Chains A and B, each alone.
Chain A
Amino acid sequence: MRFLLDDEQREFARTLDDMLTAADTPAAVRDWATGDHARGRELWARLADAGVLALAVPERHDGLGPLPLELTVALTELGRHAVPGPYVETVTVAAFLDRLGDEATATTWLPDIAAGQRTVSLALLTPASPYALDPDAADAVFAVDGDTLRLAESADEIQPSADPARRLARPRGGTVLAQGPPVRAAAAHALNVAALATAAQSLGLGRALLTRTVEYARQRSQFGVPIGSFQAVKHRLADTLIGLEFAQPLVHSAALALAADDPAGGREIAAAKVAAGEAAYVASRTALQLHGALGYTEELDLSLWIRKARPLRDAWGTPAACRAGVLADGLAGDGTDDRAGGRVAAGRPERSA
């Protein structure tokens, strides 16, 4: 057992972090919120070059994956920089199509997704949400309703989110691509992938909020001393760190469970989603409070992170749904038998040969 990211995974994270730091990502976020996708698309292309969009696509379709752990590493960095766009949705479509087993559809979409050539979005109408993220920036929107997969013809008008960089709309009409139990099974898998990716995104978002707030508390003086020397401030920041530190291993173990197709994977992912979503939301409240009135302004770039925390906490598995999932069969469980499962793994149980 070695529960630690390896050097290559750390290096991957560092590369993405450096790239996004140098890229003036906040400007891309602000443009995106007005429907101007030019800078966001540039970032998309560069992240695709770095391999991010190939992580959920299998090698036989020109991808690098599926590599759930690397996917969480990448999404954490995207969250850290509040990168706009339907990344979670695109990698989730990739995982969905890979799992669906319809070779023609997979061949049509997966190589282009892996290469960053096509941006897609997805609505899992039941049980997740009626909306697809950023359909106006996507080349295609997939919609799953029960056991039916459609390629939407269009989307309704944009429903602005509390995070202006998240643009939501209901998919409309379209042709049926597949139908039947395999669609349902692939959707269950897709929901897990989306929840995991969102959890990772939350984790990065929360880390960024904490880092910025610590910096601010060190340099902002009141009563002649940095506010970061006051215990009330310190302790709030310490609690914020604790939330993030204990969410991170849940995200990584959930990725390992997904990679291993562990039957308990849904529960692990649900746990990771709750912990990371809540920790990032706590970080956003801490950031807002400790920045004072400044933190309440739209003008400060901090707002780009603050406003994203709560939508991410609720996207692809609300805390309530995830908590129920932890005690049942995970997110994709039908939720009718709350009393099944729910045991905490005590390490890996011995496997039968």
Chain B
Amino acid sequence: MDLDSTPQQDTVRREARAWLSARVPTTPLPSLETREGFAAHREWERTLHADRWSVVSWPEEYGGRGCSVLEWLTFEEEYYAAGAPGRVSQNGINLLAPTLFEHGTDEQRARVLPPMASGEVIWAQAWSEPEAGSDLASLRSTAVRTRGGWLLSGQKTWSSRAAFADRAFGLFRSDPDAGKPHHGLTYVMFPLDANGVTVRPIGRLDGKPAFAEIFLDEVFVPDQDVIGEPGRGWRVAMSTASNERGLTLRSPGRFTAAANRLVELWRRRAGPAGPGDPAGPAGLAGHVDTALRDRVADAVIGARAYQLFTYAGAARLAAGGAIGAESSLNKVFWSEYDIALHETALDLLGPYGELADHAGDSPGHGGWTEGYTFALAGPVYAGSNEIQRDIIAERLLGLPKGRR
């Protein structure tokens, strides 16, 4: 058992650090949940892609570097330590791409992956429906057979990024007579600017259009935009819901960097206000008690625990093991950790913690307000934490199924 970097990890670390230090924008980009910010983040994806840093874990033929999970983790550590922008294309990269690698055709991979890697096509997810949230298999949107393809109808909702994205992927009911709710579903990719598609942005808690409703009225998609066998969409979607994706949905590097920023903030708050201290109005300096200190320590401990848990998962995968329901442990942990970390930051900011991120005094916040708003959604999306805890209890602890 060891934690020593491989030579390949060292190489990735060195090269990524050099590249990032030269390229990361010195002023943070506008929020990617705004039109202006979305465009700026798309441009950043292009910059990453130009030097093959946008999808390091993909094979080289699709714009990647063929990095192992460990090398990817190293890249992510460097990426977030450098304060690089959030990834506007992460839905495609983390959710759709693994599905295409496992269930797509060569033609689909060649057509879909390169523009995803370059940010030319940004993907939104279209899973939830008004009547199908945690009980996703009860979804009602339909795919009806037509010549050369399918006609999609119905309503999707809570689609992250859909307000400004180009295309979306999701499940549609293609066989209403299949015996069970999760049978007869088909996994489809579709354009958001097609005839019959209406996208209605939804403001999240801070008003930014971070997600949207999608209305579909007989939207034609060709057969080549179906992933896997028609009617087997549930299995296609779920097979990549765990395994490597479970390990990589939220990279530890993000929390390592956030915890380090929190420690910096705490040091500034605990010490005398210095010149140019953005968060340190002199009247508040030194007003940090041990209760806050303990929460900062917990953030440091949690980031390290999450990082190490992920290293252990990577080692299990490398040793031929699988990660199944264990990914639910990850999801509950990081989503609750993320909120606790941001709450601690806001508490350290005292009366300045409530300022919106566009408030005049807010540049000193270092993005804590935006980060807090973003974190609040964590326990809800990607399978609510209640569902995750059911999975943990039933599949890892062996408890009997019961009413949801």
Residue positions of A touching B, CB distance < 8 A: 1-6, 9, 69, 210, 214, 217-218, 225-226, 228-231, 233-235, 237-239, 241-242, 245-247, 249-250, 252-253, 256, 268, 271, 274-275, 319-320, 322-324, 326-327, 338-339, 342-348, 350
CA distance A346 to B301 in the complex (A): 13
Closest 6 CB pairs of A and B: A229-B402, A234-B393, A249-B308, A323-B297, A238-B392, A238-B389
Of the candidates A339, A344, A347, which one forms a contact with B303 in the assembled complex, judged by CB atoms under 8 Å apart? Answer: A344
Interface string of B364-404 (1 = CB under 8 A from A): 00000000000000000000001011101110111111111
Say whether B329 contacts A234, CB under 8 Å.
no
CA distance A342 to B73 in the complex (A): 21
Assuming A234-B389, A256-B1, A275-B301, is B77 touching A346 (CB within 8 A)? yes
A69 nearest in chain B by CB position:
B1
A350 to chain B, nearest CB (A): 6
B386 to chain A, nearest CB (A): 7
B390 nearest in chain A by CB position:
A234
Specify which chain B residues have a CB less than 8 angstroms from the CB of A256 in the assembled complex: 1-3
The reply to whether the CB of B27 lies closer than 8 angstroms to some CB of chain A is no
Of the candidates A2, A327, A350, which one forms a contact with B1 in the assembled complex, judged by CB atoms under 8 Å apart? Answer: A2
Of the candidates A231, A323, A342, which one forms a contact with B263 in the assembled complex, judged by CB atoms under 8 Å apart? Answer: A342
Specify which chain B residues have a CB less than 8 angstroms from the CB of A275 in the assembled complex: 301, 305
Interface centre among A3, A69, A234, A348 (most CB of B within 10 A): A3
Say whether B399 contacts A228, CB under 8 Å.
yes
CA distance A64 to B270 in the complex (A): 45
Say whether A3 contacts B3, CB under 8 Å.
yes
A226 to chain B, nearest CB (A): 5
Interface string of B259-296 (1 = CB under 8 A from A): 11001001100110000000000000000001001101
The reply to whether the CB of B49 lies closer than 8 angstroms to some CB of chain A is no
Specify which chain B residues have a CB less than 8 angstroms from the CB of A344 in the assembled complex: 256, 259-260, 263, 300, 303-304, 307
| Interface majority SS (helix, strand, loop, mixed), chain B | helix
CA distance A69 to B306 in the complex (A): 20
B399 nearest in chain A by CB position:
A228
The reply to whether the CB of B102 lies closer than 8 angstroms to some CB of chain A is no
Q: Kindly identify, within residues 151 to 208 of chain B, every residue whose CB is under 8 Å from any CB belonging to chain A.
A: none
Specify which chain A residues have a CB less than 8 angstroms from the CB of B403 in the assembled complex: 229, 231
Say whether A1 contacts B3, CB under 8 Å.
yes
CA distance A239 to B10 in the complex (A): 36
A-B contact pairs, 24 of them (CB 8 A): A3-B314, A214-B399, A225-B400, A228-B399, A231-B390, A234-B399, A234-B402, A235-B390, A238-B396, A246-B302, A246-B329, A249-B308, A250-B308, A253-B3, A327-B296, A327-B297, A343-B263, A344-B259, A344-B303, A347-B3, A347-B73, A347-B77, A348-B4, A350-B14
A245 nearest in chain B by CB position:
B329
The reply to whether the CB of B89 lies closer than 8 angstroms to some CB of chain A is no
Known: A234-B397, A322-B297. 18 other contacts (CB 8 A): A4-B1, A228-B399, A231-B389, A234-B402, A235-B389, A246-B329, A249-B309, A271-B300, A323-B298, A326-B301, A327-B263, A327-B266, A339-B267, A344-B260, A344-B307, A345-B307, A346-B256, A347-B9
Of the candidates B293, B311, B329, B332, which one forms a contact with A327 in the assembled complex, judged by CB atoms under 8 Å apart? Answer: B293
Say whether B393 contacts A237, CB under 8 Å.
yes
The reply to whether the CB of B145 lies closer than 8 angstroms to some CB of chain A is no
Say whether B271 contacts A339, CB under 8 Å.
yes
Assuming A339-B270, A347-B9, is B399 touching A218 (CB within 8 A)? yes
The reply to whether the CB of B70 lies closer than 8 angstroms to some CB of chain A is yes
A250 nearest in chain B by CB position:
B305
The reply to whether the CB of B26 lies closer than 8 angstroms to some CB of chain A is no
Say whether A338 contacts B311, CB under 8 Å.
no
Say whether B300 contacts A326, CB under 8 Å.
yes
B306 nearest in chain A by CB position:
A246
Specify which chain B residues have a CB less than 8 angstroms from the CB of A247 in the assembled complex: 305
Say whether A3 contacts B386, CB under 8 Å.
no
Of the candidates B1, B253, B297, B402, which one forms a contact with A3 in the assembled complex, judged by CB atoms under 8 Å apart? Answer: B1
Say whether B309 contacts A1, CB under 8 Å.
no
Say whether B308 contacts A3, CB under 8 Å.
yes
A302 to chain B, nearest CB (A): 17
Specify which chain A residues have a CB less than 8 angstroms from the CB of B270 in the assembled complex: 338-339
CA distance A346 to B318 in the complex (A): 20
Of the candidates B6, B388, B398, B404, which one forms a contact with A231 in the assembled complex, judged by CB atoms under 8 Å apart? Answer: B404
Say whether B81 contacts A348, CB under 8 Å.
no
Of the candidates B2, B81, B392, which one forms a contact with A346 in the assembled complex, judged by CB atoms under 8 Å apart? Answer: B81
B303 nearest in chain A by CB position:
A344
Specify which chain B residues have a CB less than 8 angstroms from the CB of A4 in the assembled complex: 1, 312, 315-316, 319
CA distance A208 to B404 in the complex (A): 28
Say whether A271 contacts B293, CB under 8 Å.
no
Q: Kindly identify, within residues 215 to 266 of chain B, every residue whose CB is under 8 Å from any CB belonging to chain A.
A: 253, 256-257, 259-260, 263, 266
A217 nearest in chain B by CB position:
B399
The reply to whether the CB of B13 lies closer than 8 angstroms to some CB of chain A is yes
CA distance A239 to B390 in the complex (A): 11
The reply to whether the CB of B146 lies closer than 8 angstroms to some CB of chain A is no
Say whether B70 contacts A1, CB under 8 Å.
yes
Specify which chain A residues have a CB less than 8 angstroms from the CB of B293 in the assembled complex: 323-324, 327, 338
Say whether B253 contacts A346, CB under 8 Å.
yes
Specify which chain B residues have a CB less than 8 angstroms from the CB of A324 in the assembled complex: 290, 293, 297
Specify which chain A residues have a CB less than 8 angstroms from the CB of B259 in the assembled complex: 344
Specify which chain B residues have a CB less than 8 angstroms from the CB of A1 in the assembled complex: 2-6, 9, 70, 311, 314-315
Of the candidates B77, B307, B318, which one forms a contact with A2 in the assembled complex, judged by CB atoms under 8 Å apart? Answer: B318
CA distance A268 to B404 in the complex (A): 39
B391 nearest in chain A by CB position:
A238
B299 to chain A, nearest CB (A): 9
Specify which chain A residues have a CB less than 8 angstroms from the CB of B300 in the assembled complex: 271, 326-327, 342-344
Interface centre among A230, A324, A344, A350 (most CB of B within 10 A): A344
Specify which chain B residues have a CB less than 8 angstroms from the CB of A234 in the assembled complex: 389-390, 393-394, 397, 399, 402
A325 nearest in chain B by CB position:
B297
CA distance A238 to B384 in the complex (A): 14
The reply to whether the CB of B333 lies closer than 8 angstroms to some CB of chain A is yes
B323 to chain A, nearest CB (A): 12
